[in-house]
């Protein structure tokens, strides 16, 4: 999926880049799989801002995605490849043999008319979901479960994939996109292939208004604030303060490690991600 530039008829369009959307085969989503998505502007149930720099943005509907791939041993056919405003990857609408429709994350190379399935003893083919016990070493996967029969949380953004490095006893060893090497239960499901839309990382937003359309409000740099508002604020002129780079709550930034080493999940991490 290539990325195109626009002719700079205005200064805002000089660095403006946008996807060509050549792989999209349907303009309107499947209505039964839509839900209303209410915006909260970063506020909690008391109306207080708990997540900064959020608000506004275009109206959206949420697409119900089948991350668990619970439809086991039932073949499905890809009906369309669609755009989803809530994620960087494309989604595929699948019609199963029993007539049910579901959205799944679209792997790179999946096209309309292809057959996909979830279950055991399936061929290693793009879009098929199966447990690690059935996947050979060296295969690229995405949409990875943390625990068997749980929801898939890992490797879901555009162009990402994890590689199955080895299988030992009851564990599968994966190299994640961050570079971290981690162990997973062999009963965890993953989907074969790389997530679609790999050129997403190359797109230049180009202008501030396009960020506002995404629901992001302007951010004020920490060093220009007052000391009461940020640990890095205050000082005369362009002084950055005596504190190391940190967040508003004082947590170190710029790559400092903040993970608690006593977390139970540390025992399944073979190698930490790269600095």
109: left (phi over 0), alpha (psi -120 to 50) or beta: left
Phi, psi dihedral angles at 170 (to 5 degrees): -105, 10
Q: What are the pLDDT tens digits along the chain (275 aa)?
A: 689 998 999 998 999 999 999 999 999 999 999 999 999 999 999 999 999 999 999 999 999 999 999 999 999 999 999 999 999 999 999 999 999 999 999 999 999 999 999 999 999 999 999 999 999 999 999 999 999 988 899 999 999 999 999 999 899 999 999 999 999 999 999 999 999 999 999 999 999 999 999 999 999 998 888 989 988 888 888 776 566 788 888 888 888 888 888 999 899 999 998 77
pLDDT digits (tens, 9 = 90+) for 28-72: 999 999 999 999 999 999 999 999 999 999 999 999 999 999 999
CB atoms within 10 A of CB 201: 12
Phi, psi dihedral angles at 52 (to 5 degrees): -75, 160
The reported pLDDT for the residue numbered 1 is 62
Sequential DSSP letters for 41-77: TTB-TTS-B-SSSB------EEE-B-SS---BT--EE
The reported pLDDT for the residue numbered 2 is 85
The reported pLDDT for the residue numbered 25 is 95
| H-run or E-run covering 210 | helix 208-213
CB 216 within 8 A of CB 223: no
Where are the chain's structural domains?
Answer: 3-201
Selected from 2.40.50.140, 2.40.50.180, 2.60.40.4070, 3.40.190.10, the CATH number assigned to the domain covering 3-201 reads 2.40.50.140
CA pair distance 202, 180, nearest whole angstrom: 23
Please enumerate in sequence order all residues whose Cβ is within 8 A of that of 133, keeping only pairs 6 or more positions apart, or say none: 167, 172, 186, 187
């Amino acid at each position: 999926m290539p990325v195109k530039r626009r002719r700079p008829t205005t200064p805002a369009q000089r660095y403006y880049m946008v996807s060509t959307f050549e792989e999209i085969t349907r303009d309107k989503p499947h209505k039964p799989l839509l839900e209303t998505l209410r915006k909260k502007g970063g506020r909690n149930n008391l109306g207080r801002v708990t997540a900064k720099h959020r608000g506004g943005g275009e109206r959206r509907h949420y697409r119900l995605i089948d991350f668990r791939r619970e439809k086991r041993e039932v073949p499905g056919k890809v009906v369309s490849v669609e755009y989803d405003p809530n994620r960087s990857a494309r989604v595929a609408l699948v019609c199963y043999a029993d007539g049910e429709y579901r959205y799944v994350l679209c792997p790179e190379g999946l096209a309309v008319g292809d057959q996909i399935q979830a279950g055991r003893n399936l061929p290693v083919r793009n879009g098929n979901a199966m447990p690690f016990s059935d996947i050979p070493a060296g295969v690229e996967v995405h949409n990875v479960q943390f625990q068997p029969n749980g929801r898939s949380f890992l490797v879901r953004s555009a162009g990402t994939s994890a590689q199955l490095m080895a299988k030992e006893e009851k564990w599968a060893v994966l190299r994640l996109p961050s570079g971290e090497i981690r162990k997973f239960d062999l009963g965890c499901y993953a989907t074969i292939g790389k997530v679609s839309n790999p050129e997403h990382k190359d797109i230049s937003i180009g202008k501030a208004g396009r960020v506002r359309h995404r629901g992001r409000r302007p951010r004020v740099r920490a060093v220009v604030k007052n000391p009461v508002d940020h640990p890095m604020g205050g000082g005369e002129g362009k002084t950055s303060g005596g504190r190391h780079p940190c967040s508003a709550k004082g947590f170190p930034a710029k790559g400092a490690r903040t993970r608690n080493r006593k977390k139970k999940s540390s025992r399944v991490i073979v190698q930490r991600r790269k600095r």
